[in-house]
Amino acid sequence: MHFDKLALIGCGLIGGSFALGLKKQQCVAHVVGFSASESSKDKALALGVIDSKASSLALAVEGADLVLVASPVNAIEGCLKEMLAHLAHNALVMDVGSTKSEISTKAQEILGERAHQFVPAHPIAGKEQHGVEHATADLFVKHKTILTPTSVNSQAWVELAREVWVGLGSEVLCMGPQEHDQALAGISHLPHFIAFAAVNALNAQNERETFWRLAGPGFRDFSRIAASSPAVWRDIFLSNPTEILLQLKAFQTALADLESALKHPDSSRDLERMIEAASVSRQAWRHGAQGEQDEQGK
């Protein structure tokens, strides 16, 4: 697997890590970057993430045999429209958006007969810090990447996309766009939603300075994702509202059960049972995830 030119649309953490990973594996000859932010392009160039910067998306894409759209989810549609007239017939195009149903449908409408070249992707990796200065070549190693192929993708394009992410050290899974959005609403979007709400609830109280001063490892671990990019997560929430609201309803039901047990001292066994159920599930997941990582590392 080797590409002559990677067009990196969006010079941030994920896009930058993708470029660095391919460079480390010597899978790409030249990386050209485009970003709406001139400073992001300058940083990416100075850090060696990209080899040259383009003044427009069209110029970045022209002649590229690999295109990664690493822009916020609400900007992907516009990127696809702008690149269509300049897209090479041999170019594999992927995005890295956290939601898939909406963009998969729009991509087919926008790209038309070229839609078979677009394979939606979502690497389940990241950091609370954002920006190309935090990009690393090993960001995707031992992390899952989900591909959500559409009905117009040939097996050859899907296999090429899989090969790219496997080359970056990722475990690649395939599923439908809606299935993806349902799952991510539960395991990623809802937890972020809750973390933002919890921190805001703490800040709304008069004793907040004391609370922050006393906060320890438990609060640090729980609230870590609340430090994520506001603009990125605003767009993710707005692109998957139906599934997030369904997950929020399930969470509210579970929260109400805990609240009810807390209000009735004679229900202490019920409270313990609910805590135990969560504890057992979390430990089983942790041991299973560790086992998967151990197997991948062999």
The CATH number of the domain where 219 resides is what? Answer: 1.10.3660.10
Same domain, 161 and 185: no
Same domain, 60 and 120: yes
What's the token pair of residue 200?
Answer: 């805001």
Boundaries of domain holding 189: 179-263
Q: For helices 155-167 and 13-24, what crossing angle results, to 10°? A: 80
Q: Can you tell me whether residue 2 is helix, strand or coil?
A: coil
Residue 226 belongs to some domain of the structure: yes
What's the token pair of residue 262?
Answer: 């807390």
Q: For helices 190-203 and 230-239, what crossing angle results, to 10°? A: 130
List, in sequence order, the alpha helices (H) in the chain: 13-24, 38-46, 57-61, 76-83, 101-111, 155-167, 177-184, 190-203, 208-214, 217-223, 230-239, 241-263, 268-297
Same domain, 196 and 107: no
User: How does residue 290 score in pLDDT terms, banded at 50, 70 and 90?
Assistant: low
Residue 34 belongs to some domain of the structure: yes
Provide the 10 A C-beta neighbour count for residue 84: 14
Same domain, 225 and 119: no
So what's the pLDDT on residue 293?
52
Whether the Cβ atoms of residue 20 and residue 137 lie closer than 8 Å to each other? yes
Same domain, 15 and 152: yes
Residue 294 has pLDDT above 70, yes or no: no
Residue 150 belongs to some domain of the structure: yes
Strand order in 121-123's β-sheet? 121-123, 144-147, 171-174
For the domain that residue 164 is a member of, what is the CATH number? Answer: 3.40.50.720
Comparing 22 with 127, which gets the higher pLDDT? 22
User: How does residue 212 score in pLDDT terms, banded at 50, 70 and 90?
Assistant: very high
Same domain, 30 and 147: yes
Residue 283 belongs to some domain of the structure: no
pLDDT per residue as tens digits for the range 95-117: 999 999 999 999 999 999 999 99
Same domain, 50 and 155: yes
Residue 282 belongs to some domain of the structure: no
Residue 34 has pLDDT above 90, yes or no: yes
Average pLDDT score, the chain: 92
Residue 280 belongs to some domain of the structure: no
User: How would you class 285 by CB atoms within 10 Å of its CB: exposed for 0-12, middle for 13-18, buried for 19 or more?
Assistant: exposed
So what's the pLDDT on residue 298?
42
Residue 298 belongs to some domain of the structure: no
Task: Give percent above pLDDT 90 in the chain.
Answer: 84
Same domain, 147 and 239: no
User: How does residue 128 score in pLDDT terms, banded at 50, 70 and 90?
Assistant: low
- Among the three residues 175, 201, 224, which one is the final residue of a domain in this structure? 175
The pTM score is 0.85
Same domain, 60 and 80: yes
CA dihedral 103, 41, 123, 76 (to 10 degrees): 0
Q: For helices 230-239 and 241-263, what crossing angle results, to 10°? A: 100
Provide the 10 A C-beta neighbour count for residue 81: 14
CA dihedral 234, 237, 238, 243 (to 10 degrees): 180
Q: Which residues of 55-74 are buried (b: 16+ CB within 10 A; e: fewer)?
A: eebbebbbebbbbbbbbbbb
- Among the three residues 140, 175, 210, which one is the final residue of a domain in this structure? 175
Distance between CA 34 and CA 64 in Å, rounded? 13
Same domain, 69 and 157: yes
Residue 256 has pLDDT above 90, yes or no: yes
Same domain, 209 and 89: no
Whether the Cβ atoms of residue 57 and residue 84 lie closer than 8 Å to each other? no
- Among the three residues 175, 191, 209, which one is the final residue of a domain in this structure? 175
Look at the chain and report how many structural domains it folds into. 2
Same domain, 210 and 79: no
